[in-house]
Amino acid sequence: MENQSSQNNFHFLGFSDQVPSHIFLFPLFFLMYIITVAGNIGIILLIWTNKHLHNPMYYFLANLAFIDLWYASGITPKMLTDLMSSEKNISYLGCALQMYFFVALGSTESFVLALMAFDRYVAICNPLIYLMKMTKNTCFQMLTGAYIAGFLHSLIQTCCMFRLSFCGSHQIRHFFCDIVPLLKLSCSDTTINELVVSLFASSVTISSIIVIVISYASILQAVFRRCSPQGRHKALSTCGSHFICVILLYSTVIFMYMRPSSSYSLDQDRIVAIVYTLVIPMLNPLIYSLRNREMKQALKQANCNFMWLNKLLLR
């Protein structure tokens, strides 16, 4: 029964090669997760409750925060539990679901970042027709397409992965069900899977990068040709936060999934995985809050309203 149970489950090695890892990593990762949850929920509530932020730019930002919230929540709670547990098991189905939602939300985030760049292009390069082009219905259709494409991409990846056989050791040298560690674990021929991973990761990443590069090239051209120094500063400040998030995400995605399989290093990949599963979802709301003037004003207004309500209740 023990052997049968082990064949129906995967076992995460996680950070077990570092003996005192739970002492230092658990409080660090727990704090990062709390900041991620609070920051992304705060962004969503702030945009939802502030009428001045009811425009396409912040509609996309609220969706990015929603994706980051669930992206981190699909991995971090299990990782935190495993850090404090001797049994780091996950069922076959649980592993498939974790990988499915991880890939789906990651792909969708890539498309949403491209949509945010396109939105800034229309707003800065065609300001007079911006509200006519970027209507609520248009934004909804664009986001729906991004979610469908992201979840369809993940369905293909997950189906291809779990058609493989996993014989022998079911120990995953990672802290969640990622594509590369599972490929390393399989005893089947993974040539087709590696091709599918490279092809689909490249198509999602490159198509999004092309949209972002073209959008920002057009924005820079328009800003330096038309705008005053004050207008340039405002436009570049608005786009700067988005560009930082783009660099953080795509640099890790390209490193992880668009390189030859011979260069895979599971120890190195675990460190990079922490960046895109914990660090990026935590930093996105902080970057957008601290580098965006309208968001800072909305935060100040929300703080003032909270202080006023607190005084009223104390009376």
Question: Could you give the percent of the chain with pLDDT greater than 70?
Answer: 80
Most confident of 84-93, 223-232, 244-253, 255-264: 84-93
* Range name among 31-35, 76-80, 116-120, 195-199 with the lowest pLDDT average: 195-199
pLDDT, average across residues 232-254: 75
Q: Which residues contact 44 (CB under 8 A, 6 or more apart)?
A: 62, 65, 66, 69
2 confidence band (pLDDT: 50, 70, 90): very low
111 confidence band (pLDDT: 50, 70, 90): very high
4 confidence band (pLDDT: 50, 70, 90): very low
The long-range contacts involving 219-224, CB below 8 angstroms and separated by at least 24 positions, are 219/120, 219/121, 219/124, 219/125, 222/124, 222/125, 223/124
pLDDT, average across residues 57-83: 92
Q: Which of 215, 236, 205, 234 is nearest to 293 (CA)?
A: 234
CATH topology for 2-308 is Rhopdopsin 7-helix transmembrane proteins (1.20.1070)
Q: How far apart are the C-alpha atoms of 193 and 174, rounded to whole Å?
A: 19
Q: How far apart are the C-alpha atoms of 173 and 184, rounded to whole Å?
A: 9
Residue 292: its pLDDT value, please?
67
Average pLDDT, the chain: 82
Residue 6, pLDDT > 50, answer no
pLDDT, average across residues 290-306: 66
Domain positions in the chain are: 2-308
Rg of the chain on CA atoms, in Å: 22
Q: Which of 132, 124, 133, 142 is nearest to 218 (CA)?
A: 124
